[in-house]
Every structure is written in C-alpha cells, then in structure tokens.
Structure 1
Amino acid sequence: MLKATGVERFHWHLPDAAQFRHVTPPLWTDATIDRLMQFTNTSLALVRGTTDGYLSSDRLHLLYRHEIARRGWISPGGSLRLKDLAPDFVSFIKPARECAELRAFAATASAAKTQLSALLRTPIEGTHPLRHVAIIVWLYGDGDRFLDAYRQLNDAALLEDNLEEAHPGSQPHAASQENARQAARLKLAELVQRQGLSMRAAATQLGVQTETAMAWASEMGLHVKRRPKRLKDDIRVSAIAKLLAGEDKQSVARAANVSEVAITKLLRTETGLRLAWHAARRKQASGKAQAAWLRCIQEHPGIGIKLARAMEPAAYAYLYRNERSWLDANLPVSAARTPGNNSSIRWDQRDIELSQAVQLAALQLFERKADRRSLKLPELLQELPDLKAKLRALDRLPLTRRAIERALLGS
C-alpha cells in the first residue's frame, strides 16, 4: 500500500512501542560521559556558529596544521611527527571508544597513525563529521575556541605566526593582513623562480599549504608544475571542460579516474576555474528550481502560492533566496472558475465532498502523529489517494484548495 504513490520509499521509519525490547544500558565511566558531552557540546556549537552547518575542508586542514605546529608536532621539513601525535590521540579518544558507535576510532598508536595521516595530511571531502568533531575537541578543547580561530583564519595571519615562531622578536613585514599576504606571494615567486624550489618545498618554507601556494602561483601567472601521472594533460583538459559545464566534483573525478582531492586541487590552482564552476553550478541549480516551479504551477492551475510552496518546498526556498525577482514574476494565479450550466460534472458538489474528506484525513493524520509537526502533501495523498488526481483541477475546487492549505500550513 505504501508503494501506491511512491510515498515513503526512501523515508526512515522508527519502530513503534510494540517493537521495543529491553536493553541493558551501558555502564559508562565518568570519563566517557565527559568526553561524549564534549563531542555533543562541540557539535551544537559548530552547527549554531556556522552558516548551514558548513565548514570548509581547506580551512579545517589549515587550522589543524596550525595547532599541531604550535604544539611542536611538525618537523622542520613540514612532516607530521606521527610517533608523537598518535599516542596522544589514542589517550584522548580512549574514553569515547567505550561507546559502541565510536569504536571505529583507533585503539592503538599504529592504527592512529593511519587515521591521523589520512585526516591531517590532505583536505578530504566526505569524511564523517564525527571524525572532525573528535579532532577539533582533541586540538582545541571545545567548539567555541575552534570557531574563534576559524573565523579569524587567514593564510597571511598564519604565515605571520609561523614567521614569528621561526624568528622570535622579528617585526611583522607588513602592517595589514593584505600586505602580509602580498609579501608572502612575492616571497613564493622568489623561492620558485629564482631559487628553483618545488611548490611543496616553497610552501613548507612559508608555512602554508601546498595547495594554497599553488593557488597563489596561479593568481600571479607563475608556471605550476603538475604531476602527469595523476592528471595527464588530455584528462585535465576534459576535466576542466566538465567543471566549466557545472558537473559535480565526484562525477568529474570518476570520469578522470582520479581522486576527488585531485579535482579540488585543480579547481583551486587553475586560474578562474573555481569561480566559473560555482557560477555554472548556480546556473544549473536555478534552472532546475525554475523548471520544477513552473511545472508545478502549470500542471495545477489555480493552485495558489501556499499550496504550490508546499508541493515544491525546495524549489521555492532556493528561488526565494536566490531568484526573488524571477519568483515574484512567476507566482501562481489563484482564480477559481465557475462551470457553465451545461457542465456534466457537479464541481460544487464534488468540491464540498472532497474538502470534507481532506479535513477528515488531516484530522486522522494529526491524531496519529506523535511529534505534532505540520503535515506534508505526500502524507495527505497517501491518506487520501483520490486527491492526487484532483490536484490539476484545484482552480475548480476552491474549498478543497483551502482545506489542503489549512492542513499543510496551518492557515
């Protein structure tokens, strides 16, 4: 029955009371409870303190490296001192591993070396957020301290800190962060062009990430040596074309048979590519949202703005935030038509009956919902299958339209 309209095919279903069974709660130590509370409070702080809960993987990586360097866990050559890092992390994470869901974290120094090497050497997309939460709590103690550092992050500021650590007592080479950034770029050009250092060696000497140095070099028009074995010229040209067309990084990486990290580096180091890619992605998203919105209001004449919004919430939200003028020019026209005397369908009678059925179905749904959240249109259609076929004729069913709007939006 649930498959009749395709509703809830991909929903998560929670067990009901009849399915519950007694489980003995774990006997956690105080240390475990304290560690889990740290993870919880940090997660809440990160969500509340960021836009849409988003954190840049590049900036995360820079902050991790910066804090690790401050603790003396990076060698003069820029390598991680994993033999010092790993035991410290194992000691930190041990209380959390008493929780069964967190036992994927390393239990030994050897395993920690592998995990930390993957997390700290290169920015990785798609890493489980809990791994980042653990690293943040380990290095920064709590989310607020980390967010302060995250908001203040600037490659030039980090560069100044690194230079100060390397040359205590020296004066900053510029008064402003922008001047410091520019000085760092000029120093990079000197190291690469005059001294012949590789990009990685120059970046290590400056105290910034290799990808950051490559991005600076690209902005200055310097020749950036590439690794043909990782992204050969023909594959690179094809990847750039796909990115300019707005394809997502994952599909481009699969087509090029390289890692997603390689595509991220390409976006950062190819002059103008990242901006062009974001523009193409925005154009695609706008086109998709506009098409969904137009299809909705064209297939359901007279639907009204409230019900159209309920039927296409994602498209409406995107257009409202990003294409407001277009949305205002393409709002549905709510105007009920009155059928002629010779009409073979008694629309008025059908409207009364269907509106009553909608009200009854909505009442039954609300009585069964434990969370008391507002209804969604698919839920109403699942409860009242005959309603789906009538959505195209809501301009003839004003009472039904208002009943649906009240059910979905509480108006």
Structure 2
Amino acid sequence: MAQPDAILRWYNDETFFSLCSRQHQFLGHLDTSSTLKWLFGSPRCSTTHDLPSNLCSLDSRMTACWGDATSIILEHTILPLLIPFQSRDRIDNAVLAMQSPSIGSIKYSLGLVTGRFGAEHPLKACTSCMREDRLTCGAAYWHLSHQYPGVVLCPVHELLLKECIVNRQWSGRFKWILPSEELFESDSPPYPSDAAKNALKKMSEAILDLVHDGKSRCFDPDSVSNVYKDALDLLGASFEIRERTANSFAEYASLIQPYPPYTSLPTTPSKASAFISQMTRKVRGRCHPLKHLVLITWLFDRLNMFIDQYDARSKAGLLTKFSNAAFAKNNLQPTTSEMNTLVARRPKKLKPQLRVAILENLIKGEAKDKICSKFRVSISTVNRLLSSDRLVKTSRQEKQLRKNLRTYRAQWNSVIKENSQMSTKELRSRTPNLYAWLYRNDRDWLLARNSELPCGRLGNYSSIDWDKRDIELQNLILSTMHRAYGEYDQLRISKTALFSLVPSLSRLLEKRTHYPKTRLLIRELLQRTG
C-alpha cells in the first residue's frame, strides 16, 4: 500500500503560492498540472500567485493542515490590503470569488484595473531575506509582507525588493517557483535618497498597518472623504494656501513616483490639486487602496492617526443622529386642534379703499417696508393681504424673479470675467451663495454658461496627447536597451527579455489602438530573433 504524501507546514510570513511551490518541489513533480491535481483534484483548474482561486476545492488533507479557505485568504494572500476601503458586499464577493473556480472580474470590482497602480502584482523578494531563509529554513520562500502592492523596501532590511520575471503577463505559462537570483530583473531602480527612503518606509508601514486593520473593519467612503476635507480645512481655505498644499503634495509624491507601482502619481501642482479634489469629492466608483494611503501618509503621517480621526468623526455623527431623534421625540408638534385651542386669533378688517391701494402697490413691485410706512400698517398685515390674493402674489413673485435673474446673472458674468481661467468649482467656492441661488432658480442658464468654462479636471482621455506618449515609450525602450546592452543594432532579443527590461510594456500595450509606433518598433526588434 502506497504511503500518503507528506504535507508541508507554513513558514512565518509565507504566501499560499509559496507553500504550494515548496510542496511542488518536495513532491518532485515535473509539471505544473501534477501539483494542481494533487492540490485541487484536477489538472485543468487554474490559479494565480497573487489572488489564488479554487480554494474551496482544496483536498481535505491540505485544509486540515493549512486551514480552511477563508483563513488562507485572510492570512496568506494580499486580499486584506485591497478590501478595507470597499463596501461589505464587495468584500464578500471577493472572498467568494477566491473560493470559486475562477476569480472572474475581482480585480476590476476592487478598482485595481482602473486605479493606475497596475492590476499585475509581480512576485518580489529581498536578497538578504533569501540568504537568511536558506540558513534557517533550508530554502528561500515568498514572504507575504513583500508581496503587497506598494511595498518597495523590505520591512526588515530596508533594501529594494527584486521583481521576478516569471508569472508575468508576458512571460508565458504559470509556474510553481521559489525565489532565486536568476529569476529577478537585472535592471532595477536607483537606490532611493534619504528623503525618498523615509517616504517609502512610511508607505510600507501604512500598508502593513492597513492589512492588520483590514481583516476586521471596512471604511465608509463618504466618511473617509469627509475626514480628508476636515484635515485639509485645518491647513487653510484661501486660494494661496490651497496652492501651497498642492505644491507640498506634489513634492511628497515626487519622492516615491520613480518606483513602481507609484509611477502614475502626480508630480506637478496642477495634477496634485486634481488628485486631492478626486479624493475629497463624493465617491463615484472604485478606488485603489494605494490612492488612499498616499494621501493619508501625507496628511496624517501614520495610518493610526487617520483611524483616530475617522472613529472620532463617526462617533460624533452617531451622537448627533441620536440627539436629534431624542429631541424630535421630546418636542412633538401640537395638532391643529391644539393650536386652535391655545391661540385665539383676533379678526382684523381693512377698509376696501385701503385694501385696494395696498394691492396696487404690491402689484407694482414696491418694497414691503415702504408700503408699511406709507399706509401705516404692520408687515404681518401686508403679508396676510398678499397671501389672500393669489394673482397679486404670483404677479409680484414673477416680477421679483425677473429682477433677481438680471441681478444675479450680471454678478455671475462679472465673476467669470474677472477669473476667466478658473473652473466652475473654483468659481463656486469663491461665491457659494450666488452660485446656490442661480442653481436653484436659474439652473438651465447657469449650466449653459458653465459649459463654456475650463473643466478644471485632469485625467480625462480626451486631453491626453497619445502621440507624445507613443514617442516617449519608444525612447524609453531604446534608452533602456542601450543602457543594458550598449550597441544593439545587431542584437537578438526575445519577447521575455524585452518585457523584463521594460515591465510597464505589458500594461501600456493592453489597449490595441494606442502606441502604434512602439508596436512597430517591438515587431522590428523581435523579427531579428525570428
């Protein structure tokens, strides 16, 4: 009778993919499908290294040693980083997707595809950790703390993490692998300056703190944006202070922008202002957690400071809600019959000639205070008389509205003329009362007038110079090849080698209608190999 296969145990801070890769080597399997069958019962099922799927199909021997599907997801994958800023429904759907045969559109639903930080999460390792693992454990393995998106420095040794060239979008089929020096990219970013290193360390600490808290809570998006607004309001609300704030954030983002996955962060004041505006307005879609953490580490320095402010605001909101409910309960409005009993109304009469004279003045649109002094009546008498005659009241309202429309339109046109380069949002912040009146009473005219203004929002594809981006990507490929190989006129290079030199290529070339010149260059380079 054949002996059952031995099942390995978890190492400290190990990913699920790493344990499966160690098991693959221990079993001596020659192909990936053999280990897939051993794990899940079928060689045709699929999984990935970052967000593995099919975990409910794990053999019962594995779950007895490694834990159930939920514990594996929350303790040995990167999902806990991606869910704290999501709704409870999305979190439950993500966990369910990882338990199912396919993760489906989980990366899109969590905001990874559209977040500009990349939905591909390459395997990463620290060379010092690898040496220590071989001495203490007998083999190097993939540390979970290294795999979280945004962790660029090893939390222990503070060295730049190396990115693996296997299991990438451009590297071929899925493989079970463990860290090894020959699997890493030869070209790595320059070692960061002291300021950049401190910023990257701060981001890594915030990421690991969020992972710890993300397993037990999720943040309400509206409350999060309000906490950001409160913190920014403390810095000041004037136009000059807002400019300094944008400059400060652009400088902070510039420190970490050279290091993937932060390459899309804003490095100019105008783009920084747009980024802050996006994070503080009403939430309209999914948002990558790194967007939140970049803003949090800049505004609050540490995640726990943000959480304290969030909890305090949430608690204050609940107290206000309960106090308002108690006040409404204890101060019930009296009924109509009670009001009639409590207040004895005294009838008043106006002589017909006086009544007609007041109504004529009201129709002409004369001010109420002038009518009061002219006919020696109280303002309540004028109001009561106006309310009793619907035609007079309607005529007066229409005249007053036309007068106000002329006045407020002229004022808004004047504001636009004085600040012709400002967007609608910036003008609205300068004259909120004027904008509110026009929005309530003359919305069609206001929106038509505002459509002629600068939008003030960056990031729309319509404003992107794709030809310029195409040329820049071409130059990036050529300069990288020159730096790596020197003269490359007769160089033969494989697709894997080319994409490992420029890791962002696979993401940039996903849209087939963009970068035609770059695609032509790549075809020419690869044809030499063929």
TM range (shorter): 0.3 to 0.5
Greater C-alpha radius of gyration? 2
TM value normalised by structure 1: 0.35
TM value normalised by structure 2: 0.28
Q: Compare the two structures and name the one with the higher helix fraction.
A: 1
